[in-house]
A and B are shown apart, each in its own frame.
Chain A
Amino acid sequence: MNQLLSQGTPKALLVLEDGTAFEGRSAGAEGEAFGEVVFNTSLSGYQEVVSDPSYAGQIVAFTYPQIGNYGVCKADMQAEHLALKGVVVRDMCRTPSNWRSEGSLPELLAAEGVVAIEGVDTRALTLRVRESGTMRAAISTTDLDREHLLARVRESPSISERNYVADVSCAEPYQVAGATEPSAFARSDEPRATHRVVTLDCGEKRGILAGLAAAGLDVTVVPWDTTAEQVLAYEPEGVFLSNGPGDPRVVPQPAELAGELLGKVPLFGICLGHQMICQAAGATIEKLPYGHHGGNQPVMNLLSGMVEITAQNHNYGLDFASLGPIVPELSGGYAEHEADLRAWSQRHVAPVVANERFGRIRLTHVNLNDGTPEGIQFLDLPAFSVQYHPEASPGPHDSAYLFEAFRRLVEGDPDYLAIDVREGRRF
């Protein structure tokens, strides 16, 4: 809302670690928030973004200027509570309009204690983050002194100093029943049997649970620090490792768990879960300059040659070469790693590496914007994972087939990934 119309709203200040400051007005809870600032380029889906537990520890700036237009509703929440630190918008809508709306975004933020600032030139902020990389920042409605707040930002802990997974994971296991009616990808229209899976909740989005359930998987959600023994005690037909917040390098338990489960039970991981599986295979996880946060990232499925427009939210990613040396005979005769993985998408080759611990691993998905890895598949044991978000929420549904792929993996289908994206578009 324009500042002439929101007189009486407290002032707010956003300061970045590099000294850049933006004055604005409070658009959520009053107070202060310190966190890592990232920008999200989704045009819609602000509610799913702010309720995504993966943003714990972060301040999210929306590149689309007018946020909150269609209000908020319970059904779109990705978690019970908001885990992010703060929200930055150009213009916050206080008079939303949509038949599903149950309240306004600023009301939700205030009720959840999330500090937010509006009136910020979010494009300038985005360009700054693009140039300088992800950095620490603070929003305050109480400390409006730039220099003072900047000093405090520079003293604030980095995101890597805290285990945010522990903050957002569930405390106790719980169950979600799988659907028996066939999904759009099902091979027949008959009702089908469900399968039992366990998901490790590192901050799991509800959209993922819904995706698993729609694929006919009965899900037992367990806390992030559940041991392999405990997981296997559920006698799962498959295990899923969820998305989650923070620096994956500082929370080793889930990766250790993945290492113990690989080969014992079919595994599927998304985002943090993918990184855990990669770490289990001894791979290096790197921090990206400013991450991928949005709903328009093109990813090529190297197996099908098709491109999926994907939802993404990650600041860390796999160094594919660190998984092992290329196996030329399984990689179209090419023997060398490529720094830019788009070389493989241009060749239409899905390269395979020889991993010391788990045998052959294939690169299945590549980001066409920057040539980073987006998905892998283990060839000698039943496991696959993707860096991006097939559940979307928010974002396009192109990759929803991956939940069905997991079901097929659980069922022992060797070609579990061979699903046409377009089959999902049945109504």
Chain B
Amino acid sequence: MPKREDLHKILVIGSGPIVIGQACEFDYSGTQACESLKALGYEVVLVNSNPATIMTDPEVADRTYVEPITPEFVERVIERERPDALLPNMGGQTGLNCAIALDEAGVLERYGVEVIGCNIDSIRLGEDRKLFAKAMEEIGLSICRSGFAYSLADAEAIVNGDDEHEGLGFPVIIRPSFTLGGAGGGIAYDEDELRSIVSQGLDLSANSEVLVEESIQGWKEIEMEVMRDAAGNGIVICSIENLDPMGVHTGDSITVAPAQTLSDVELQRLRDYSLAILEKVGVATGGSNVQFAVNPDDGRIIVVEMNPRVSRSSALASKATGFPIAKVAARLAVGLTLDEVENDITRATPACFEPSIDYCVVKVPRFAFEKFKGTSEVLSTRMKAVGEVMAIGRTFEESFNKAMRSLEQDMSLLGADGTLSDDESEFRRNVSVPTPKRILYVIEALRRGWKVDDIYELTGIDRWYLNRLLDIVRVERWLAARRLSDISAVEMRAVKQMGFSDAQIAHFCGCSELEVRAWRRAQGVVPSVKTVDTCAGEFPARTSYHYKCYDEGPSERRDCDRPRAMILSAGPNRIGQGIEFDYCCVHAARALHAKGYETVMVNCNPETVSTDYDTSDRLYFEPLTFEDVLDICDIEQPAGVVCSLGGQTPINLAARLKEAGVPIMGTQPEAIDLAEDRDRFSSLLDELGIAYPTSDVASTYEQAIEVAQRVGYPLLVRPSYVLGGRGMAIVYDQAHLKAYMDEATRVSSDHPIYLDSFLDSAVELDVDALADGKDCYVGAVLEQIEEAGIHSGDSACCMPPYSLSDSIVAQLRETTHKLARAVDIVGALNVQYAVHNGLVYVIELNPRASRTLPFSSKSSGVPLASLAARIMAGERIADLEASGELPPEDRDFGYFACKEAVLPFDRFPGSKMALGPEMRSTGEVMGIARTFPAAYAKTQLAISYGLPLDPSAGKVFISVRDRDKRAITAVARELTLMGYRLCGTTGTAKALEAAGIPCESVRRTSEMRPNIGTMISGGRVCLIVNIPGDPSTREDFYQLRDLAVRYRITNVTTLSGAQAMVEAIRTARDSDMEVFALQDL
């Protein structure tokens, strides 16, 4: 069928901010969808609140609304744009949920918007476990024995049985309905766990419903990525096997594609089931993911779930096979059939086929438990990973080793370097209980001679995988028995074919990584280039999607006359380094391609746009380690390598690459070192006469005490060379300092600790700028809404600054210009400032693109990342200013853009939830409006808590430290005037009453019940303003924060945050908030 001509304008919903379980894979799929719909001639309208996405670049869609993905705002967009159709299945669960809400609100019918790609009933059927169970039964497929519970009593009856039903018995799996990434689910082994997981699940479920299910832990978990078109053709793109058996969320599992341990008989059965399930659920067109559990003892198959949309797994499958699921799905949604869509890679065969691959793909999740101390690291059915890496190799062994080194978490030696806990009594537990490091303990058990069968019994990890890991261990032993010079070329190649890095070989042979490199190169053991081509070599590939391996066949790299520009992207998503840097790298690739370069992207993160084979001229899906990157440099001989757009990962490689003779584009390693070496940077600031907080370094506790006495408390302490504020803290006294030092030595043993005077109550600012070695251009000045001390990544901010005078802003720009020149930045830079009592202090200079660059670009309308790349390629700022591509720095914007961070605390029960200098947010949203409060209000509405707009919904609880008591009265008065009733802790209530503001006094959570805790759990509080003071109130503070997360109550923890919040509430109540298309700004 040809494409539909009755549709003209299509609305695409994105997935909003990056959260755990819903990350940049939806930027990848959404961007593909928008671009392919546009290419087919449709006008595309996009709604997505996440500014750090490629899809929200103004040129991707025709009309881009960076607005909250709520039914109210999307309705406003629909009202303005009048689309013919809505494509909801590219934006993850957020997109689907929004579509359902729009349907239920009658919006779709009112405006005559047709849902394409899937229909509302099929979304419900896929998501509603009860309907799904019934549908599966109707086509003769088994699902888990289970029951739905709407209360704790229901759940207990399901587990223990009642008059009519036999109970499931423990353990049981609890899955709340309508949540993403299995949020709120878990495994309960006893009554206590049942109670806690069920009550949390009921809270989180959109319809207060949880499924209580028999445990099939230990079964194989297999996913099938399936596509279907309007003609009824169905294809399986990829099978994915979880190395971790059922019981660990697939997002938290090591997964392998294709499935390794199933025979064709079993796999084809799963294929038949998958296609039948799509048919039954009524997936109109597009991609879906079906998950199965397979009993390893008898092959019994249970359908676990299906997602009628693109997903993290479909992004993985796309990267694993080269088959662009989202791109094809978008075309199918407008009526094309699979046979009418061309396979991009062969350009000779249709998309209606099932990819065959001739390599093994391993995905390993990356966790961030170090950011959430206090929470359990045990993995379960609730996803906790913040990112993932994928590796391609010829065998599982090779891919696994590549993946482990791609993680950048010191796991590349697989635990052979003594990084594992030496607590012997815990060893068995560490092998059997799934945690991020369990795989290392499994390997260690193999090293210790444990039998594969015994480990299988403990872990449920299929023996095939255990035997492959054992092979890796046997090669470790082989290496350990040799010196480097004993290893022949043939043997070296065999070792490399197992995926061993030079560093791994060096570890076992007792030499250095560079010696291994030199030895193997001298022997001619260098990698060859293979191609991901969807067809296992059956047809020629037209694209250059590559991986390295040590097979001996000829290199498949195509020669090229154009100079190569290599871009190193950011690796796995982690807190502090994620989609923002990928965004920058994608821009660089496009900009450099336009300048005539053959662009070469290197990255190992399957969720990203940068690893789309379309983004660059050449893609190497490879680990971002020195060895792997240098190997690719040897192969491609780039004219320059861009290291300053992918966050800290490539920055850390720059110096070594340059030393190895690789030309670095833009800011040189010497300049990077100048900016990052605190002593040298401080001297530079002294020379330039620029103020910065007093600071010093210390390597021991005694030194630190001495520094503290000199500089004075409070102090901001941190280890050197950090990203995302890892290991940072503000210490108020000596006891704090001691506690920090005890911890910090574990964080970074080789580097000293920095102690900076902390500017209490200062305003912090982020400046994103470009420089060409001569001139500098300040792209955006962002004012943080939270006071200094909150990591800039976790703080809300506003562009342009809303509370600073023009002269201060001008001073910031001038200082930035001075610094850029002095450090010799070529490309992007970011400077963090604090303004304290009218004085400007430099906190730090990042000689690279910052996390805020996408927000700065989007809010200022200047594509800073692209321009940074062009400057690195030799363009001059003066020329860009002359041509108008860089508008005047001091122009009047006429609007405000706010950014708010999204925090994952609901995933990590038990961890401390206060904001501080350590970054813990996973993503961000943006709001644009004519006024600051309205823009800020939009950001609050865009994150899931929403704004407490209804005074009858509960009281506002206020508890502030003494020095804010005067300032809070204005906030309290405003709330009272709007009709809110207040309550507060004794001190705060007294202060407010004294100012003539009625405020009920309530007890703290640590005091006798009833107290504020019981009020919150009783649903009688709608907003919490809780600004912690001295350490003695911290425990109360944490408890409140826990409660706020659990009961989804907005919780403001800073004075300026409270002021902004109250203004936002007033704006949202008083005015109908307008929506803006970026193209109109």
Contacts and interface: CB of A to CB of B under 8 A. Distances in A.
Given A123-B537, A124-B554, A395 B264 contact: yes
A65 interface: yes
Interface string A301-332: 00001110100000000000000000000000
Contact of A426 (B139, B265, B538): B139
Contact of A123 (B140, B239, B553): B553
**10 smallest A-B Cβ distances: which pairs?**
A124-B553, A45-B264, A394-B264, A63-B536, A97-B464, A121-B551, A425-B276, A121-B553, A427-B140, A126-B537
A323 to B, nearest CB: 24
A220 interface: no
A371 to B, nearest CB: 10
Among A43, A127, A369, A395, chain B packs the most CB atoms within 10 A around the CB of A43
B339 A2 contact: no
16 contacts: A66-B260, A70-B262, A98-B263, A123-B537, A124-B554, A125-B553, A126-B537, A130-B538, A296-B354, A298-B353, A306-B233, A309-B352, A370-B349, A397-B272, A425-B279, A427-B140
B338 interface: yes
B353 A368 contact: yes
Interface in A366-395: 368-370, 392-395
Contacts of A354: none
Interface in B290-322: 296-299
A100 B259 CA distance: 16
Interface stretch (A88-96, A197-205, A222-230): A88-96
A270 B675 CA distance: 72
A396 B262 contact: no
Interface stretch (B42-50, B205-213, B467-475): B467-475
B775 interface: no
Contact of A98 (B233, B261, B551, B552): B261
A47 B337 CA distance: 34
A27 to B, nearest CB: 14
B360 to A, nearest CB: 7
Nearest to B343: A369
A44 interface: yes
Contacts of B396: 66
A39 interface: yes
A98 B358 contact: no
Given A44-B264, A76-B263, A65 B359 contact: yes
B181 interface: no
B352 A298 contact: yes
B266 to A, nearest CB: 8
Interface stretch (B119-127, B493-501, B888-896, B1056-1064): B493-501
A4 B495 contact: yes
Interface of A: 1-5, 39, 41-45, 47-48, 63-66, 69-70, 73, 75-76, 90-91, 93, 95-100, 121-127, 130, 294-298, 300, 305-307, 309, 345, 368-370, 392-397, 420-422, 424-427
A185 B509 CA distance: 63
B1077 interface: no
Nearest to A71: B263
B19 interface: no
A123 to B, nearest CB: 5
Given A97-B462, A392-B268, 19 more contacts: A45-B264, A65-B394, A66-B396, A75-B265, A96-B464, A123-B536, A126-B536, A130-B540, A294-B536, A296-B353, A296-B354, A298-B339, A307-B233, A345-B339, A368-B349, A368-B352, A393-B264, A396-B271, A427-B273
B355 interface: yes
B230 to A, nearest CB: 11
A413 B258 CA distance: 41
B259 to A, nearest CB: 8
Interface string B536-547: 111110000000
Contacts of B721: none
B375 interface: no
Contacts of B475: 2, 4-5
A100 B263 contact: yes
Nearest to B276: A425
B537 A63 contact: yes
A45 B258 CA distance: 13
A420 B233 CA distance: 11
A44 B494 CA distance: 25
Contact of B394 (A75, A90, A345): A90
A120 to B, nearest CB: 9
B464 A41 contact: no
A177 B97 CA distance: 53
A204 B352 CA distance: 29
Contacts of B272: 397, 424-425, 427
B463 A95 contact: yes
Contacts of A64: 258, 356-358, 536
Contacts of A121: 551-553
A99 B498 CA distance: 27
B237 to A, nearest CB: 11
Contacts of B471: 1-2, 5
B385 to A, nearest CB: 26
A123 B551 contact: yes
A393 B354 CA distance: 16
A76 B263 CA distance: 9
B462 A425 contact: no
Contacts of B236: 396
Nearest to A427: B140
Contacts of A75: 265
Interface in B445-503: 462-464, 467, 471, 474-475, 478, 490-491, 494-495, 497-498
A257 B235 CA distance: 38
A44 B553 contact: no
Among B273, B471, B491, chain A packs the most CB atoms within 10 A around the CB of B471
B438 interface: no
A4 B239 CA distance: 30
Contacts of B265: 75-76, 100
A5 B275 CA distance: 41
B478 A4 contact: yes
B276 A65 contact: no
B722 interface: no
A394 B357 CA distance: 16
A64 B352 CA distance: 21
Contacts of B264: 42, 44-45, 47-48, 76, 295, 393-395
A44 B263 contact: yes
Among A97, A345, A420, chain B packs the most CB atoms within 10 A around the CB of A97
B786 interface: no
B223 interface: no
Contacts of A305: 231
A9 B296 CA distance: 31
Given A64-B357, A295-B354, A396-B268, A98 B262 contact: yes
A97 B467 contact: yes
Interface string B343-385: 0000011101111111110000000000000000000000000
B1071 to A, nearest CB: 53
A90 B395 contact: yes
Contacts of B141: 427
Nearest to B495: A4
B397 interface: yes
A114 B884 CA distance: 73
B767 to A, nearest CB: 50
Given A123-B551, A126-B536, A426-B139, A42 B262 contact: no
Interface string B207-238: 00000000000000000000000011101100
A47 B264 CA distance: 9
B535 interface: yes
Contacts of A2: 397, 471, 475, 494, 497-498
Contact of A127 (B239, B494, B537): B537
Contact of A42 (B239, B356, B494, B537): B356
B626 to A, nearest CB: 25
A158 to B, nearest CB: 23
